[in-house]
Structure 1
Amino acid sequence: MTDMSVQTGAPRRTAFELARRYALFVLLAIMLVGFWWAQPAFINSANLFSILQAVSVVAILGVGVSITMSAGGFDLSVGSVAASSVMAASYAMVVLQFGAGETFALVLLMGALIGLANGLLIVKVGVPDLLATLSTMFLLAGLQLIPTGGRSITAGMMLPDGSTAKGAYDPAFLILGRSRLFDIVPLPVVVMAIVAVLAWFLMERTRFGRVFYAIGGNETAAHLAGAPTKAYRLWAYVISGTLASLGGLIIASRVGRGDVSAGASLLLDAVAASLIGFAVLDKRRPHVLGTVLGAIFVGVLLNGLTMLNAPYYTQDFVKGVVLVGALALTFGLGKKKR
């Protein structure tokens, strides 16, 4: 009797584990078919690429958050870094009259330095990750408004000293956010794919990435094994800050202005994508593929609801339901069966 119960229990457990492992893929497929059935225009290529373009920045920021989480940290400043990058890029071109190449280099360097500052606060000063990056978030949210007196940046704007800005957005800069590869695929989607592939290879196929996960699992054990844990944690925040600034550059090149409200919801969306990613393939840890799929999952859901004329004010509620469901699937149900 015992042997038979074990034999019948094993297939059930295996089936449950397979279902949990691929649940988000199945749900995504069901959503695609359901929205297509309810609104045939949903499945056309223009709308699908629009969804990918809409989630590209969130996915890029989410990858950065996932990398810090894999090293046992958490970066709450990514939204403010992206928003500050929008303002910095606009200020560089409109006020300082920089070209596209100089602006790209300046903003990416700024993001890397902010990430380095976060890392130094954490590993050198000893400030907890959440507190250090939260402080940076508030600092940047206020700092980005000072040069323009709290106004958005546009060509010909009046500066706080009474002068008029003489610069304008470099057309070459706008290519990043507005052009399409082969006149089909939006360039932000291409950038997202490149970032995802490179980050996936780094984290899953190199010693560099394995050390990140070792540090996140047990930093003391990783240190005793000879890993330079402080250096790796610094690198995690530098990468996160650089990716956040890249996301800001994409936003700036898409909207063509320095909007003070840019990046308002990016932090929560990026964190949600990272946490939903825990449920992908039942990894139960942050990983790049899961983060990108999490961003796409939420993007498909919100786009479909919008096409069905669902009220806009339900979006945050829907995100919360998806996040709670993904985490329950990952930790709650998984714990019962283990």
Structure 2
Amino acid sequence: MTDNPVQVPSRKGTIPFREGVGGPVTVSEIVRRGAVFFLLAALGVIFTVAQPAFININNLMSILQAVSVVAIIGAGVTITLAIDGFDLSVGAVAASSVMAASYAMIVLGFGAAETVLLVLAFGTLVGLLNALLIVRLKVPDLLATLSTMFLLTGLQLIPTAGRSISPGLILPNGSTATGKVDPLFLMIGRSSLFGVVPLAVILMLVVAVILHVLTERTRLGRLLYATGGNEAATRLAGANVARLKTMAYVLSAMLASLGGIIVAARVGRGDVSSGASLLMDSVAAALIGFAVLGLRRPNVLGTIVGAVFVGVLLNGLTMLNSPYYTQDFIKGAVLVGALALTYGVSRNR
């Protein structure tokens, strides 16, 4: 018996709950499912031939460490995409978390554990705020999270009058901050397991596994996708749609805060420009995930692969001394190619 994907109507088109596994596998099907992996392998070969140091284990770990924050934040975005929503505030949440973590230690004198708990609680509150606007007040998700983004972008600058946070910071009231960044906190962004695998990469893998199991192997995950496919039908089936949406936005903001914690631990200070590119990069990773294995729906595994794809591309271009002003164009061209292979081949089947 053929196992065909169930197509669920959505404002973004149709979302397949399951890919078909029956019937003959055609060349076009293989291309559609493996487009991103084929391009990733091709990039690896090209960069290795041009610059043999690319394939060095230290460089590969450096790539994974560089994309870990984007992958973690992108995983949160993926959860909101699963419910047919969207979270534009993740970059601002991550940037605010960097500032909050630095402020807690350098100005308030908090330790590593207290700081991590405080920042994760901050992310939870932002997620609840987004959920309040979207679920209770019925504000469209793009408008609600855009408003939150602007709110946080301005709020993070107020406690320090727009200055970055580092030891010896002169506060607006004229006093000097006497605290410092806890060395245990710095280990989150700078330490490695056995001196090889960065702790940030391990955190990325843990998040990926937990969310993959949650979304693909549990009833809760099926309800999340069902909410995105047909909210009214999911509600009639007895699911608490409001609670599901709230959970999605809280998870998204919490993961953005976790990403901010890793950035703060890596740089050791609160940089006001630290989250400038995180929104676009994490959204790009989540959207590339649609093309992974030809699923054509948000999925955590695809988001992680998308983040690695972008990281490999940028790292290779940097090693080849590609001018910085061409990198965004090349990245966009390759991404368009991956998506065109996935959707174009599928349409022509």
**TM-score when scaled to structure 2?**
0.92
Does the 8 A contact of 1:86 with 1:251 survive in 2?
Answer: yes
| The structure with more helix, counted as a fraction of residues | 1
Q: 1:289 is matched with which residue?
A: 301
Q: 1:154 is matched with which residue?
A: 166
Q: 1:325 is matched with which residue?
A: 337
Amino acid at match of 1:315: Q
Shift of 1:218: 0.9
Amino acid at match of 1:278: F
Equivalent residue runs for 1:26-105 within 5 Å: 26-105=38-117
Q: 2:13 is matched with which residue?
A: none
Does the 8 A contact of 1:70 with 1:216 survive in 2?
Answer: yes
Does the 8 A contact of 1:275 with 1:323 survive in 2?
Answer: no
Match of 2:156 among 144, 149, 155: 144
SS at match of 1:41: helix
Match of 2:198 among 186, 189, 192: 186
After superposition, what is the alpha-carbon deviation per residue over 1:41-83, rounded to whole angstroms, capped at 9, x for unaligned?
0000010000000000000000000000001100010000000
SS at match of 1:257: coil
After superposition, what is the alpha-carbon deviation per residue over 1:210-245, rounded to whole angstroms, capped at 9, x for unaligned?
110111111111111111111100000000000000
Whole-Å Cα distance in 1 between the matches of residues 339 and 73 of structure 2? 20
Does the 8 A contact of 1:112 with 1:238 survive in 2?
Answer: yes
Amino acid at match of 1:140: L
**TM-score when scaled to structure 1?**
0.95
Whether 1:208 aligns to 2:220 is yes
Whole-Å Cα distance in 1 between the matches of residues 55 and 336 of structure 2? 27
Does the 8 A contact of 1:88 with 1:107 survive in 2?
Answer: yes
Whole-Å Cα distance in 2 between the matches of residues 117 and 58 of structure 1? 23
Does the 8 A contact of 1:115 with 1:241 survive in 2?
Answer: yes
Task: Say what the alpha-carbon RMSD is for the aligned residues.
Answer: 1.2
Shift of 1:335: 2.1
Does the 8 A contact of 1:275 with 1:327 survive in 2?
Answer: no
Does the 8 A contact of 2:35 with 2:338 survive in 1?
Answer: no
Amino acid at match of 1:220: A
Amino acid at match of 1:113: L
Whole-Å Cα distance in 2 between the matches of residues 327 and 229 of structure 1? 31
SS at match of 2:348: helix
Q: Which runs of 5+ in 1 are unaligned?
A: 1-9
Match of 1:220 among 219, 232, 240: 232
Whole-Å Cα distance in 2 between the matches of residues 326 and 196 of structure 1? 22
Amino acid at match of 1:34: I
Same amino acid, percent of matched pairs: 68
Whether 1:120 aligns to 2:170 is no
Q: Which runs of 5+ in 2 are unaligned?
A: 1-22
Does the 8 A contact of 2:28 with 2:345 survive in 1?
Answer: no
Whether 1:109 aligns to 2:121 is yes
Amino acid at match of 2:161: G
Q: 1:307 is matched with which residue?
A: 319
After superposition, what is the alpha-carbon deviation per residue over 1:130-150, rounded to whole angstroms, capped at 9, x for unaligned?
110011011100100000000
